[in-house]
Structure 1
Amino acid sequence: MSLLPAGVSAQADATQAEAAHPSAVLIELFTSEGCSDCPPADELLQQVSGHETAEGQLIVGISEHVSYWNGLGWKDPFSSELYTGRQNNYSSHFGLSSVYTPQMVVNGREQFVGSDRRALQAALTAESQRKQIMLHIDSAQLAQGSITFTYSASALPAKGSLQLVAVLVDDVDRSNVLSGENSGRELTHVAVARALAPLGALHEAEQRSVTLPLPASFHSNAGTGHHLVLFAQQNGDGPVMGTDTKPI
């Protein structure tokens, strides 16, 4: 029996998926190791990230660990005020009274409790009907203390501006939680955000090159693989109009 939500297919060969997927859908999971409701959402993201929907969209997950649980018994080693700030922006955008975990945001358009499979499937189905821009990572390479990548972009909307955002993620991270609500548990996370960098307005480009510094806490040989995620978003907290990812 499949553990995937209905409409999500098994993971394709990485090379074929990179070459063939007509578009991608971005799932951001705001989570914390200090929250006992979060592990089911972490597991759901693990089950879908890197797979394709029935409509052929590649599901690109990002696990963004927030910081506001850190004073409640356990300091999440992957947490950052940066991701807390991004979630706060979404909270204002969606008109919510407060932030919460776990929260999933799909393509910047829909938000719901991060363990809600039905809501995720409905959001994926809705996103399959939306037109996206062409955004492609042509190459990506880690060097001493930095990452350099090239990308191309086309079919941008005639009106409005898009902001380009780059995210460096660990493919898999594990943690032995020693206190707090998840005390005694070993937690597994996928697509863990380690750096997130707004790159400014996106313009039509046959190819552009970007070099970004790596965070001091990032170790390329830490026993896990890594991906670069690149996406274009309206106003920094609005609809995501295009996404691509590449292993590094």
Structure 2
Amino acid sequence: MRRFVTWLAAALISFSSPVLADDHPVVVELYTSQGCSSCPPADAYLSTLAGREDVIALALHVDYWDYIGWKDDFADPKFTKRQKAYAMAANRRSVYTPQMIVNGAEHVIGNHPVDVEELIAKHAKMPDRVSLALSKRGGVLSISAHADRVMPTPLVVHLVRYEPMQKVKIRGGENAGRDLIYSNIVTEWNRLGDWDTRSPLNLQAQVRGDDPVVVILQAPGPGPIVAASRLR
């Protein structure tokens, strides 16, 4: 009987413990395309990450597969440029889809969830170096941050907006005939400026609409993401 009670208590803990929001969520960028036949499993996996509080999952659709028969209407040349910049920073000669980049530092094939989960866990355990807070009143976003020590270079302040979900019927190309669901589709990615961490950051930006707002503080390069926060 005692063994049963012990097992029951452990089971209740495992099934009832909520997933708590992390103080420093891990950013996962998925580089994907509606025209890529290997991407739907990665898109589906990103949808599971999109529901987590400890992860900021972002789908950046690239345009270099548009020529094979289907134009991705979410694609933006800026996202292709960002992915290529990551490749150059890592001394890699090419880019591919689906690719996930974890906290700006780890490159991994996007349809390998086990590898991605390991990297998320690794970065979630890293200590905070920067505290970042967001608030929004009307159409004004207020951003504040301070660093526990001065960073070697100023951090880039990025403002990101995304659409939480959209279903698309693919009528051409490698995925022709499929109805695919996409999550956290990045619609805007703007560089607000650079932050010299020798003094606190206090910045305001205009935002429109109800789509979620993400602010990312990242080493130049693009390099590692030092802090990120989101308002939904």
2:62 aligned with 1:66: yes
**How many pairs were matched up?**
213
Tell me the residue number matched to 1:124.
Answer: 120
In the TM superposition, what are the counterparts of 1:26-65 in structure 2 within 5 Å?
26-52=27-53, 58-65=54-61
Counterpart position of 1:134: 131
- Deviation, 1:155, is 2.0
Residues 226 and 10 (structure 1 numbering): CA distance in 2 closer, same or farther, change over 3 Å?
farther
User: Structure 1 residues 92, 121: closer, same or farther in 2, change over 3 A?
Assistant: same
The TM-score normalised by the length of structure 1 is: 0.80
Kept in 2, the 8 Å contact 1:91–1:98? The answer is yes
Q: Could you tell me whether the CA contact under 8 Å between 2:100 and 2:110 is conserved in 1?
A: yes
Q: How does 1:158-237 map to 2 (within 5 A)?
A: 158-160=150-152, 161-203=154-196, 204-205=199-200, 207-211=202-206, 220=209, 226-237=211-222
1:143-193: CA deviations, max 9, x gaps? xxxxx3111101254132110101110011121110000001111111100
Q: TM-score, normalised by structure 2?
A: 0.85
Quick check: 1:246 aligned with 2:224? Answer: no
Report 1:61-100 matches (<5 A).
61-100=57-96
CA distance 1:201–1:179, shift in 2 (3 Å):
same
TM-superposed deviation, 1:108: 0.6
Unaligned runs of 5+ in 1: 1-8, 53-57, 143-147, 215-219
For the 8 Å contact 2:195–2:201, the answer to whether it is kept is no
Q: Which of the pair is proportionally richer in helix? A: 2
AA at the equivalent of 2:44: E
- Of Structure 1 and Structure 2, which has the larger fraction of its residues in strand? 1
The answer to whether the 8 Å contact 1:169/1:227 transfers is yes
Identity over aligned residues, as a percent?
29
Asked which structure has the greater CA Rg, the reply is 2
CA shift in 2, pair 1:140/1:24, >3 Å: farther
Residues 206, 94 of structure 1: alpha-carbon distance in 2 compared, 3 angstrom cutoff: closer
CA distance in 2 between counterparts of 1:172 and 1:64 reads 13
Aligned-residue Cα RMSD (Å) equals 2.1
User: Is the contact made by 1:65 and 1:79 (CA closer than 8 Å) also made in structure 2?
Assistant: yes
- In the alignment, the residues of structure 2 paired with residue 197 and residue 240 of structure 1 have an alpha-carbon distance, to the nearest angstrom, of 15
Cα distance, 1:40 vs structure 2: 0.3
Following superposition, the deviation at residue 140 of structure 1 comes to 5.7
User: Does residue 1:149 correspond to 2:141, yes or no?
Assistant: yes
How many angstroms apart in 1 are the aligned matches of 2:201 and 2:100? 33
Secondary structure at the aligned position of 1:131 is classed as coil
4+ aligned runs moved over 4 Å, structure 1? 9-12
